[in-house]
Amino acid sequence: MAATKYDDDAAAPRRRGVSLAKGPVALIGIASLALGVLGFIFASQSFTMDVPDGTVNGGTFLGIEGNGWTWALFAAAGLLLLLGSTIHWGAKSMAFIVGVAFIVGALIALSDGTDILGIFATNNWTKLVMGAGGVALVLLSMMPRVGRRAGAAPAARTDRTATGERRSARNGEVEREPIGTTTTRDGSLDDRR
C-alpha cells in the first residue's frame, strides 16, 4: 500500500455558542440613540460652549438635562453600540469603549458640578444615567459566549495517497477537489482562479 499522509484540516465546524453581549448592547444602543434624538427634538438644540471651565445649561427631557452636545453624545454612543452589536467581539469592544467614555464623563460631571468641561450640560439625572449606563456597558463587555459544545465531534480524518488523492477515513472514497484549486504541500487548498 502507498504511503499516506494524514490531513486534519477537514475539521467539523465548531459551534461557538450564543453571545451574552450582543443583545443587551443592542438594546442599550437603541435606548441611547432614542434618548439622544428625542432629547434633541424636544429639549434643547443649542450647541453653545464655554470651554474649559464655564457653565452651560440646556433643556430637560424625561428629567435628564442636556444641550445639543449632550444629546449628540447620547445619539453617537447609541449608534456606535448598534453598529458594534452585530458580532460578538464588536459588541464587547464597543461596549467597553462607550462604557468607559460614559463613566469618565459622569465622573468629570460630578467633579465639575453642572456640566462636562463647559461643553455637555448635565444635571443629577444625566450623571446617573451616564454612570449607570457606563457601568452596565463595561460589565457587558466581559460577557462570554455560552452553550459551546464541550466535546466537539471528531474531525473526519483524511488520508492522502502517494498520488495526491485524498481518501476519507470514513468510507475510503476518493474526495474530489474543486476545479481551479491545487493542494499545497501542507495539505491546504490554494485557489488558482
DSSP state of 158: E
The set of cell numbers assigned to 182 is: 491545487
What pLDDT digit, counting tens, does each position of 66-87 carry?
999 999 999 999 999 999 999 9
CB 67 within 8 A of CB 47: yes
Q: Please give the full DSSP string across 13-50, using - where no structure is assigned.
A: PPP--EESSHHHHHHHHHHHHHHHHHHHHHT-------
* Each residue's pLDDT tens digit, 138-164: 999 999 888 866 555 445 555 555 555
Closest CA to 61 of 79, 76, 74, 77: 74
